Amino acid sequence: MVAEGELLVAHIRRKDARGSPPTVLGFQPAALVDHVARVDWSLLDRIPGDRGGSQQVAIEELNHILGEVNAHILPCINGFSPIRTIAGGSVANTIRGLTAGFGVSSGIIGACGDDEQGCLFIHNMKFSAVDLSRLRMKKGPTGQCVCLVDAEGNRTMRPCLSTAVKLQANELAREDFKGSKWLVLRYAFFNLEPIKTAIKLAKQEGLSVSLDLASFEMVRDSRPHLIELLETGNIDLCFANEDEARELIRGDLQSDSEAALNFLANHCKWAVVTLGPRGCIAKHGKEIVRVAATGEAPAVDATGAGDLFASGFLYGLVKDLPLEECCKLGSCSGGSVVRSLGGEVRPENWQWMREQMQNKGLSLPNFSE
């Protein structure tokens, strides 16, 4: 497996090196494989942490949860398996969405292990035409995450990254960012040093920077460091969901999503707060827009909803579209991923997204560009 993986990465680097730099780069220090399963909530009562959030676990706990999944599995939906294993991670989901759904050349900067999960990550991302020339393969395990989804589509995530290989700050080079336009990041205190280095190098090359706030637990547990990062003025675009927004402004009883939006907009050119089935609000300069969610059917799985919203929104910014259109694009792409299990949009749901875009009078992506 090691030799096969190394040969695969070498082949990908040779192939991708011939092309132009990706328009959008995602920095995900540790590659991640998601094990997504529809389960009854009783399983969540037996594992630590808050429901609906994302809390790191040790490899022993991850394996224990995986061992329990089959005893709690829910019936399949629409003929698809109730269990799915795919390349994951917020940044990877966004980057894959940009290439597969919008035809925007995009790549990943990071590291994967020389194991079965590493090869799965590579194959899955390459199938979606993601540029992997900046992905390093290292000896060791690839990160994994259990995504537990209930009957209403709510997801609870338990990632295991403590033993995973990852790209260190001193392994990043200015050359990695040369020629690209956007850098996509996910906030993580345990990756703060490489995140800061990536931002510094990206800014030296003139890239704009997009930051996702990751999870309400991450904001709650390392808020001062997040505020410090925002106050640098180097974050051009910031995404937060309602729970993250609430933690950001410390859950004041008088606060609301618009207060969090204004807080973010004080530090970023574009600020977005997603509101689940109620859509989103966004601000750029003095302009504030509210856009409804797209799609009336109940969500099968909310995994990746925010990540794919970011794909559509970033596509709009790359195309210099107005703020409201960017939000509508995000609403369409975010609505597409919740129609099936996992953070990867199935082909029939990309088609659904394009139909929604046409209904809203939005321009369809041109994959021949």
Residue 102 lies in a domain: yes
Residue 245: give the domain boundaries. Answer: 2-31+89-115+126-136+167-359
Residue 275 lies in a domain: yes
Residue among 135, 111, 96 at smallest CA distance from 31 = 111
Residue 307 lies in a domain: yes
Residue 76 lies in a domain: no
Query: Looking at the 3D structure of the chain, how many domains does it have?
Result: 1
Overall residue count recorded for the chain in this entry: 369
pLDDT tens digits in sequence order for the chain, 369 residues long? 555 555 555 545 545 554 799 999 999 999 999 999 999 988 888 888 888 888 899 999 999 999 999 899 998 777 678 899 999 999 999 999 999 999 999 999 999 999 999 999 999 999 999 999 999 999 999 999 999 998 888 889 999 999 999 999 999 999 999 999 999 999 999 999 999 999 999 999 999 999 999 999 999 999 999 999 999 999 999 999 999 999 998 855 456 788 999 999 999 999 999 999 999 999 999 999 999 999 877 788 888 999 999 999 999 999 999 999 999 999 999 999 999 989 999 999 999 999 999 999 998 998 766
For 29-48, write each residue's pLDDT tens digit.
Answer: 999 999 999 999 888 888 88
Residue 149 lies in a domain: no
Residue 206 lies in a domain: yes
Do residues 185 and 27 lie in contact, with contact meaning Cβ atoms separated by under 8 Å? yes
Residue 75 lies in a domain: no
- CATH code, 294: 3.40.1190.20
Distance CA 237, CA 226 (A): 14
Q: Which two tokens stand for residue 45?
A: 């009562």
